[in-house]
Amino acid sequence: MAFVNEDNITDLAMQRWGTAHSPRTAELMSAFVRHLHAFAREVHLTEEEWAAAMNWLAATGQISDEKRQEFILASDVVGLSMLVVQLNNRFSEQATPATVLGPFHIDGSPPAEFGHDMAAGIEGTPLFITGTVTDTEGKPVPGAVLDVWQADADGNYESQLPEIDEARLRAKYQAREDGSYCVRTIAPRGYSIPMDGPVGDLIRTTDISHFRPAHVHFMLEEPGYQKLITHLFQEGAEYLDSDVVFGTKDALVVPFVEHQAGPSPDGGRLDRPFLHATFDFVLEQKS
């Protein structure tokens, strides 16, 4: 029998986890144990630090619910989420690049017609986002569904507002036969990630900026195409070069052009100034 000591515990733990019934689980857990033990050895982890980490993980789970995913936020701020996105979304140069999902996506957004105002009744500067959805050969993807969500003009998502119990600043738009789409909303504001939980406590021990630049989230998932999760960022917004979740990409930064009252991109008219951004989404075909 091999009794445990400092020299053999890693090999023993890896052997045990290597018995997992799934070969992939065995691979993942064995590698996890190896790297975790190497980390503890490298920094000479103390018992007090280990206990603090266990308490932090417990608190992260306790604050999480169906609307707030604190573990996803933790993954975001250490760059793990963006690394996994990069590893699993190696699209061609023609395709729209992917970025992080973030912790505020909610399933079940209501369907919206071309030009529908998903910000109706919410204060803010009107913003239209128009363009097309095509494949990498330039062919339109008719009927493509664009799942859209964003923060409001104060930087809040609906899940951060306890008094909100219905869909707010989110909708699913459908591209027309020629691939064109039109989203009507309000200009989002750059915002701080939630700082009232364990992730915020950790961030406050550093000089890391806890802000995200102004952006609108999009998710497109169409049969025959690779799923696309991405953002559009406002050109000139604060924090573009210090996004706390590492999500900014040059190709996703677009101008929000100012327009005076008059004809609007949805075919109607507005009696006040508005912003207009254009972006063509390009989906990668599945091989």
How many C-beta atoms surround the C-beta of residue 14 within 10 A? 17
Reported confidence tier of residue 160, pLDDT bands at 50, 70, 90: confident
**pLDDT in the model for residue 3:** 86
Sketch the domain layout of the chain as residue ranges: 9-77, 93-283
CA distances 238 to 127, 241, 249, Å, are: 18, 8, 14
93-283 folds as: Protocatechuate 3,4-Dioxygenase, subunit A (2.60.130)
CB 105 within 8 A of CB 183: no
Looking at 141-247, which runs of residues are DSSP E strands? 145-150, 170-174, 180-186, 191-192, 211-212, 215-220, 228-234
**pLDDT in the model for residue 164:** 81
**Amino acid identity for residue 28 in this structure:** L
Judge residue 254's burial from the number of C-beta atoms within 10 Å of its C-beta, 0-12 exposed, 13-18 middle, 19 or more buried. Answer: middle
Whether pLDDT at 68 is above 90: no
DSSP characters over 8-76: THHHHHHHHHTT-SSHHHHHHHHHHHHHHHHHHHHHT--HHHHHHHHHHHHHHHHH--SS--HHHHHHH
Reported confidence tier of residue 158, pLDDT bands at 50, 70, 90: confident
Reported confidence tier of residue 102, pLDDT bands at 50, 70, 90: confident
**pLDDT in the model for residue 238:** 96
**pLDDT in the model for residue 122:** 95
Tell me what the pLDDT averaged over the chain comes to.
Answer: 95
Reported confidence tier of residue 2, pLDDT bands at 50, 70, 90: low
Whether pLDDT at 75 is above 70: yes
**Amino acid identity for residue 224 in this structure:** G
**Least confident window among 101-105, 142-146, 211-215, 254-258:** 101-105
CB 232 within 8 A of CB 185: no
Angle at 62 between CA 61 and CA 67, to 5 degrees: 80
Whether pLDDT at 165 is above 90: no
Query: Which tens digit of pLDDT belongs to each residue from 192-246?
Result: 999 999 999 999 999 999 999 999 999 999 999 999 999 999 999 999 999 999 9
Judge residue 180's burial from the number of C-beta atoms within 10 Å of its C-beta, 0-12 exposed, 13-18 middle, 19 or more buried. Answer: middle
Query: Which tens digit of pLDDT belongs to each residue from 105-132?
Result: 889 999 999 999 999 999 999 999 999 9
**pLDDT in the model for residue 246:** 96
Whether the full predicted model's pTM is greater than 0.75, yes or no, is yes
The CA distance from 105 to 219, in Å, is 10
